[in-house]
Amino acid sequence: MAEVDLSYCVVNTQQRELLQRALDAIGREQAALEITTEVLVLDNSSTDGSAGTARDHPVVDDLVVLEQRAGKAENDSMLLERASGRYALLCNEDTELQPGATQALYAALESNPNAAAAGAKLLSPDGQVQPSAWRFPGPLTALASALFVHHWTTVQSSGEETKPVDWAQSAALLVRREAGRQIGWLDPQFFVYSDEVDFCKRLADEGWATLYVPSARAIHHEQLSTGALPEKRIVELSRNRDRYMCKHHSPVSAAVVRWLTAWTYSLRAIAATVLPGHNAARYRAHARASLHPDQGEGLREAALDYNRGGRRL
């Protein structure tokens, strides 16, 4: 296929109904665009008919169906490499682009040749704004969380003007494919969580910027955060936070972040024992996993079990 302006890259794992909504939203976006586009879908070994939904949807140009479940970084990289567009818009199956989102992201990168990625403003289904861009993790951001000032010092997705940020969430992230190819796409060692943090960090190390584009909006249903296997998600989140720290910081810094993060979750667990609507046991699980990220089974192990025939994921 000849090069196009923009490729939509959608990864789906066992979420047929959300995938349908995501593709419908992409179709509405395409109808309003004057640039050339294509839609690529990767189905991550789903058993709920998702592949059939993608195959039958009129907007889909290319469908990849995996027999074995793989991690998000690996799946996103596969689509980025397979795409024909100068730009590729990474979307989860739980991302519902709002009118004009694609054009706003595209215009942001077109007007800033030093930017390699642009992230949208994410909204919950009830319209509440979700944090979607942050400073790179490190001892100072961990300290900010421990002091409970991270909303003011670490979260960068504020304001209504397009601006440079350290990293933006990949639920709706437009990527300049030239830059992604330059750094070797996403690192598959990050099965899920911290994969886009590492991606944006490596882009920054090569001189590329990441932008936050609040005029581009997307509803994010947060399937990955609220789905099944919460204990394994906690383990995976913690191990990949630590993997990022060990990759980009010193062993001392990584240890400091482990202790500060565990301390923060421990304080939240104590507060949750008296505050309504909070889960103290979940906070304690986060504290343990933060302090010992090399222990326990995460989503990677759950996927391996699924691929062996356990089919629990």
- Name the domain count of the chain: 2
Query: Exposure string (b/e) for 288-309, b if CB count within 10 Å is 16 or more?
Result: bbbbebeebebbbebbebbbee
Query: Are 60 and 80 within one domain?
Result: yes
Are 245 and 209 found together in one domain? Answer: no
Q: What is the mean pLDDT of residues 247-258?
A: 98
Q: How many CB atoms lie within 10 A of CB 1?
A: 11
Last residue of a domain, one of 167, 191, 225: 225
- Residues 202, 78, single domain; the answer is yes
- Residues 78-101 have pLDDT tens digits of 999 999 999 999 999 999 999 999
If you average pLDDT over residues 26-54, what whole number do you get?
A: 97
pLDDT band at 222 (very low <50, low <70, confident <90, very high): confident
3-state secondary structure the chain: CCCCCEEEEEEECCCHHHHHHHHHHHHHHHHHCCCCEEEEEEECCCCCCHHHHHHHCCCCCEEEECCCCCCHHHHHHHHHHHCCCCEEEEEECCEEECCCHHHHHHHHHHCCCCEEEEEEEEECCCCCEECCEECCCCHHHHHHHHCCCHHHHCECCCCCCCEEECEECCCEEEEEHHHHHHCCCCCCCCCCCCHHHHHHHHHHHCCCEEEEEEEEEEEECCHHHHCCCHHHHHHHHHHHHHHHHHHHCCHHHHHHHHHHHHHHHHHHHHHHCCCCCCCHHHHHHHHHHHHCCCCCCCHHHHHHHHHCCCCCC
The count of C-alpha atoms lying within 13 angstroms of the C-alpha of 51, restricted to the half-sphere facing its C-beta, is 11
* Same domain assignment for residues 219 and 234: no
Same domain, 207 and 233: no
Q: Tell the burial category of 275 from Cβ atoms under 10 Å away from its Cβ (0-12, 13-18, 19+).
A: exposed
The whole-number average pLDDT for the span 123-130 is 94
Per-residue pLDDT band for 12 (boundaries 50, 70, 90) equals: very high
- pLDDT at site 2: 60
Write out the two tokens for 29: 């976006």
Is the pLDDT assigned to residue 224 strictly greater than 50?
Answer: no
* Region 41-68 average pLDDT: 97
Out of 206, 225, 244, pick the residue that ends a domain: 225
160 domain-assigned? yes
Residue 312 belongs to some domain of the structure = no
In a domain, 32, yes or no: yes
By percentage, how much of the chain surpasses pLDDT 70? 96
Q: What is the mean pLDDT of residues 259-263?
A: 98
pTM score, two decimals?
A: 0.94
Q: What's the farthest any 2 CA atoms get from each other in the chain?
A: 60
CA quadruple 119, 201, 230, 252: dihedral sign: negative
Q: What is the pLDDT of residues 108-125, one digit of tens each?
A: 999 999 999 999 999 999
Strand partners, 172: 91
Q: What's the confidence (pLDDT) of residue 225? A: 46
Query: Across the chain, what does the average pLDDT equal?
Result: 95
Question: What residues contact 205, with CB distance under 8 A and at least 6 apart?
Answer: none
Does 105 reside within a domain? Answer: yes
Instruction: Specify whether 214 is located in the same domain as 260.
Output: no
Do 192 and 287 have their domain in common?
no
Looking at the structure, do residues 220 and 300 belong to the same domain, yes or no?
Answer: no
Domain edge (last residue) among 163, 194, 225? 225
pLDDT at 313: 54
Mean pLDDT of 234-261: 98
Question: pLDDT tens digits, residue range 134-163?
Answer: 999 999 999 999 999 999 999 999 999 999
pLDDT for 228:
58
| Residue 196, domain CATH | 3.90.550.10
Residue length of the chain: 313
Task: Say what the pLDDT of residue 162 is.
Answer: 98
Pair (166, 279) in one structural domain: no
Q: What is the mean pLDDT of residues 244-273?
A: 97
Q: Are residues 274 and 296 both part of a single domain?
A: yes
The β-bridge relationship of strands 87-92 and 6-12 is: parallel
- pLDDT for residue 312 is more than 80: no
- Per-residue pLDDT, averaged over 64-79, amounts to 97
pLDDT > 90 fraction of the chain, expressed in percent and rounded: 93
Residue pair 66/307 in contact (Cβ under 8 Å)? The answer is no
> For residue 240, is pLDDT > 60?
yes
Domain of residue 174 covers 6-225
Question: Has residue 28 been placed in a domain?
Answer: yes
Question: What is the mean pLDDT of the segment spanning 286-305?
Answer: 95
